[in-house]
Structure 1
Amino acid sequence: MPERVVVVGGGMAAVRLAEHLGGDDRFAVTVLADEPHAPYNRILLSAVLEGTHAPSALTLRSQAWFADHGIDLRLGARVLEVDRDAREVVLVDGERVGFDRLVLATGSIPTLPPIRGLVRRDGTLHPKVHAFRSLADCRRLDEAASLLVEEGRSPVARPARAVVVGGGLLGLQVARALSVRGLRTEVVEGAGHLLASQVGPGGGWVLERDLRRLGTDVYTGARAVRLTDEGLRLDNGYVLPTELVVLTAGGRPSTSLARRAGLMVRRGVVVDSSLTSVTDDRVHAIGDCAEHRRRTTGFVPPAWEQAEVLARVLRGDATAYDGRRSVARLRATGLEVAVLGDPEHAEGEVVEMSNPIAGSHRRLVVHGGRIVAAALVGDLSRVGLITQLYDRGTVLGPDEPGQLLLPEAADAPAPLPDGAEVCACAGVTAGEVRACATVAECADRTRATTGCGGCADVVRRLVGSSPAPVAVG
């Protein structure tokens, strides 16, 4: 009898696990997705809002793909409880689904910031307020933005305004998308600079400068405290008139199901190096909801790595997840950011270079001659090479860290060998991309371009080509 593997969640980590287990006769896989859509790429929701991607382009795997690979995909299937004694999950309609192995891939949920006026007396959000986590959220915001832009075309109307609460990766992507759509957009960030969790003040200042240059005002070191008829009031007394408020600040791992099941939960579901719950060896957790070595992640690359490791664990292979690799990319028109590891807290010697005039900031943290973290803002011409050195733990010479921070000359593209990593999210090399004839084939075979989308330009240049110098951007 095949082992029954039930995956709770239909996000990017769940799909990656399904890709590795699908078609293997040793497993009978059931994926319980609570949204009514086929699993899609949440990272590219801002691209849909911006208008560069159609919603259909975000689908990771179709319902037909799941069926062809022997996977029971159930859409709109919300899990109410986990009965660990009976080894069953209970759906909201009362159906019970038995499991031999349970994988929690429930992701994260947004949290409301402490702003008075966001919620009306009947418990619903104020009509101006929008969350931005799901495809349904994106569609609602898209409709609201379209209506405001259309109304703003009247000769007597003032430009419609939007305020994005949160200056993290998601906040900047949403702000840029709304600005591109024609809304006068402002960003409110409580920390002293943008992307405070990923980059230092130098990088944050470059981002703020770029946003202002692109027409978006930024308020850092200020918190929104109240939504009124006049607008969004900040703690410094300033009021931002606005027709839209988008909440992108605040979020936490979705762990309520695990807590009710009696599993050990701190910030996330606590797992060991095999991504197994420390409470129950038949239960696993991957993606945003998992906590490994007191750390949770909110990025695609570690979630996909966890899915690959867990697939090997379920097959009985000797493997372990070390949780060290973390790569994040900002995908927004006119803004370029890549973060490897934890450049603000990693131990090591710091090599840093800023060019405020060109709008670039680069920071490497080197320990024992190896790159242990990096932050690149404004110029990603070296990101492919730096990522490769970071992943491989290559020992650098004394002058190499400084040389890596210099931009590539426009007329001297860096050679990209077959072993160089092109897609940080899926761990795809240049050689694997070159082996594909089209971008669509590459996406299907390797999953490159289906994560943050930052590798799309390089993939387009590489598909079907022979090894040749290619500038990584």
Structure 2
Amino acid sequence: MADRVVVVGGGMAAVRLAEELVGADVRLTILADEQHAPYNRILLSAVLEGTHAADALTLRSPAWFEAHGIDLRLGARVLEIDREAREVVLVDGERIGYDRLVLATGSIPTLPPIRGLVRRDGTLHPKVHPFRSLEDCRRLESSLAEVQAQRDSEPGSEPPRAVVVGGGLLGLQVARALSVRGVLTEVVEGAEHLLASQVGPAAGAVLARDLRRLGTDVYTGARAIRMTDDGVRLDNGAVLPTDLIVLTAGGRPSTALARRAELMVGRGIVVDSTLTSVSDDRIHAIGDCAEHRRRTTGFVPPAWEQAEVLARLLRGEPASYVGLRNVARLRATGLDVAVLGDPQAAEGEVVEVTNPIAGSHRRLVVHGGRIVAAALVGDLSRVGLITQLYDRGTILGPDEPGQLLLPEAADAPTTLPDEAEVCACAGVTAGEIRACESMSQCVDRTRATTGCGGCADVVRRLLDAGRAGSRPPVPVG
């Protein structure tokens, strides 16, 4: 009899696992606690910005799951795991048995220590909006519409104001989306520069300059400490008037369920190279909630890689997770960022070029002739090639790292080779995209564009060139 595989969580890692298990001899159940069909959280800021409809974020429809014999349960919240009985218990008391349990519970937001954020009755102040889910996005949009309507009724009033707490990838995405909507937006970041977890001060300064040029004010090295009637007070004494406060700082792996089941938990659920809990060989963890070699990720590419590895294992095929692929892209209007590995902590020789006037910063960390990390801000013309070299561990010549950091000449474009990676999230090459006849077929076959969305323009150009029967030059970005 086929194994019963139960997945707790309906996010991007869970959907990828389901896709990889289509046709496998398993009985798959997915327990998603949200009422929506699984969707792409990375593109929530695009919904806020107005460039994507909420429906466009759906990864797979309920009909798709049904057609493939997968039991997708929306609004199904798991209360506990009964390891002895090999059952999960839902909040309504229903018990679901499993042979293999996969925890794909993602991450949850943490509230920053800002006085007045939470009211005495335990609810958030009405101006405060976390930004992690589709419901969060809709609530923020609704509040923004109310504020805008009020402003419209007051001739001569200034546009709505918003303070975004957190200068990480999500914070910058939300800040740009609000600015595009005409909101006077300010970003508050406690670290000394933006994207402090991914890039260094030089790159952070370029990003801050770009944000200010695009109309978003930035306060770094400052923390929001209190909500007042006048706005948000910072620890440097400044008060920022605001109508909306968006929380994007602070998030941690969702491990409460695993802790109650007495699984080993560090920052995340501790797993080995087979993505199996070190406490129970019938339980696995993938995505943001998993901790492998003392590291959690929080990005789409490693979560999808984990899902693919675990699917092979559940099929009975040999596989192991090494955890080397860590690529992050920032999707925000007017901001271009790509981070490979850990460019701040990686050991090796650093090759770096910064042009704050042009708004670009490029950093490679090279060890043993191989690229072990990279950060690119403002100019992603070489990101496809650099990612390919990084993934393959290609040994470079002594002059190549420096050449890679030079922008491509505008008058000397090159044809993108079939083996060049276009979609960093899904690991899709130009050749795989050229083999598709339409965007919908490309999405279905390869999952390109369904991660951060940063490859969408290149994918469209490749498909257009294919339909035209030509192979024109396409930028590698």
* TM-score bucket (shorter structure): over 0.9
Q: Which residue of structure 2 lines up, in the alignment, with residue 450 of structure 1?
A: 450
Look up the equivalent residue of 2:474 and give its one-letter code: V
Look up the equivalent residue of 2:73 and give its one-letter code: R
Within-5 A mapping of 1:266-345: 266-345=266-345
Please, what TM-score do these two structures have when normalized by structure 1? 0.99
Q: Which residue of structure 2 lines up, in the alignment, with residue 192 of structure 1?
A: 192
Q: Which residue of structure 2 lines up, in the alignment, with residue 90 of structure 1?
A: 89
Structure 1 stretches of at least 4 aligned residues deviating more than 2 Å after TM superposition: 146-156, 466-469
Within-5 A mapping of 1:317-466: 317-463=317-463, 465=466
Look up the equivalent residue of 2:336 and give its one-letter code: E
Q: Which residue of structure 2 lines up, in the alignment, with residue 81 of structure 1?
A: 80
Look up the equivalent residue of 1:247 and give its one-letter code: L
Deviations 1:218-245 (A, max 9, x none): 0000000000111000001110000000
Distance in 2 between the 1:468 and 1:90 partners? 56
Cα deviation, residue 367, structure 1: 0.4
Distance in 2 between the 1:438 and 1:143 partners? 35
3-state SS of the aligned residue for 2:307? helix
Q: Compare 214-223 and 308-317 and name the one that shifted more.
A: 308-317
Q: Which residue of structure 2 lines up, in the alignment, with residue 228 of structure 1?
A: 228
Distance in 2 between the 1:113 and 1:266 partners? 21
Matched, 1:137 2:141: no
Distance in 2 between the 1:265 and 1:414 partners? 48
Distance in 2 between the 1:429 and 1:305 partners? 16
3-state SS of the aligned residue for 2:202? helix
3-state SS of the aligned residue for 2:177? helix
Distance in 2 between the 1:410 and 1:332 partners? 23
Distance in 1 between the 2:205 and 2:385 partners? 25
Deviations 1:56-106 (A, max 9, x none): 000000000000111000000000000000000000000000000000000
Contact in 2 for aligned 1:199/1:343 (Cα 8 Å) = yes
Look up the equivalent residue of 1:81 and give its one-letter code: E
Q: Which residue of structure 2 lines up, in the alignment, with residue 38 of structure 1?
A: 37
3-state SS of the aligned residue for 2:111? coil
Q: Which residue of structure 2 lines up, in the alignment, with residue 469 of structure 1?
A: 473
| Structure 2 residue ranges without an equivalent (≥5) | none
3-state SS of the aligned residue for 2:132? coil
Q: Which residue of structure 2 lines up, in the alignment, with residue 159 of structure 1?
A: 159
Cα deviation, residue 146, structure 1: 2.3
Q: Which residue of structure 2 lines up, in the alignment, with residue 105 of structure 1?
A: 104
Q: Compare 236-245 and 143-152 and name the one that shifted more.
A: 143-152
Distance in 2 between the 1:372 and 1:71 partners? 39
Q: Compare 275-284 and 148-157 and name the one that shifted more.
A: 148-157
Cα deviation, residue 361, structure 1: 0.3
Cα deviation, residue 357, structure 1: 1.2
Contact in 2 for aligned 1:14/1:307 (Cα 8 Å) = yes
Cα deviation, residue 349, structure 1: 0.2
Distance in 2 between the 1:346 and 1:101 partners? 36
Distance in 2 between the 1:81 and 1:436 partners? 44
Deviations 1:344-375 (A, max 9, x none): 00000000000111100000000011100000
Distance in 2 between the 1:39 and 1:66 partners? 11
Contact in 2 for aligned 1:145/1:178 (Cα 8 Å) = no
Cα deviation, residue 409, structure 1: 1.4
Please, what TM-score do these two structures have when normalized by structure 2? 0.98
Distance in 2 between the 1:355 and 1:103 partners? 46
Deviations 1:352-402 (A, max 9, x none): 000111100000000011100000000101101100110111111100100
Within-5 A mapping of 1:205-244: 205-244=205-244
Distance in 2 between the 1:337 and 1:142 partners? 26
Q: Aligned residue pairs: how many?
A: 472
Q: Which residue of structure 2 lines up, in the alignment, with residue 246 of structure 1?
A: 246
Look up the equivalent residue of 1:209 and give its one-letter code: R
Contact in 2 for aligned 1:418/1:467 (Cα 8 Å) = no
Distance in 1 between the 2:217 and 2:271 partners? 42
Deviations 1:162-206 (A, max 9, x none): 000000000000000001001100000000000000000000000
Distance in 2 between the 1:31 and 1:400 partners? 47
Say what the alpha-carbon RMSD is for the aligned residues: 0.9
Look up the equivalent residue of 1:20 and give its one-letter code: E
Contact in 2 for aligned 1:432/1:446 (Cα 8 Å) = yes
Cα deviation, residue 315, structure 1: 1.5
Cα deviation, residue 158, structure 1: 2.0
Cα deviation, residue 468, structure 1: 4.3
Q: Which residue of structure 2 lines up, in the alignment, with residue 29 of structure 1?
A: 28
Distance in 2 between the 1:15 and 1:300 partners? 12
Look up the equivalent residue of 1:469 and give its one-letter code: P
Distance in 1 between the 2:463 and 2:71 partners? 33
Distance in 1 between the 2:53 and 2:160 partners? 24
Distance in 2 between the 1:126 and 1:160 partners? 17
Identity %: 81
Distance in 1 between the 2:349 and 2:47 partners? 40
| Structure 1 residue ranges without an equivalent (≥5) | none
Distance in 2 between the 1:88 and 1:150 partners? 50
Contact in 2 for aligned 1:160/1:243 (Cα 8 Å) = yes
Look up the equivalent residue of 1:146 and give its one-letter code: A
Deviations 1:328-354 (A, max 9, x none): 000000000000000000000000000
Distance in 2 between the 1:106 and 1:61 partners? 18
Cα deviation, residue 467, structure 1: 4.6
Contact in 2 for aligned 1:22/1:29 (Cα 8 Å) = no
Distance in 1 between the 2:98 and 2:22 partners? 16
Look up the equivalent residue of 2:30 and give its one-letter code: V
Distance in 1 between the 2:352 and 2:389 partners? 17
Q: Which residue of structure 2 lines up, in the alignment, with residue 114 of structure 1?
A: 113
Distance in 2 between the 1:146 and 1:422 partners? 37
Q: Which residue of structure 1 lines up, in the alignment, with residue 3 of structure 2?
A: 3
Contact in 2 for aligned 1:151/1:157 (Cα 8 Å) = no
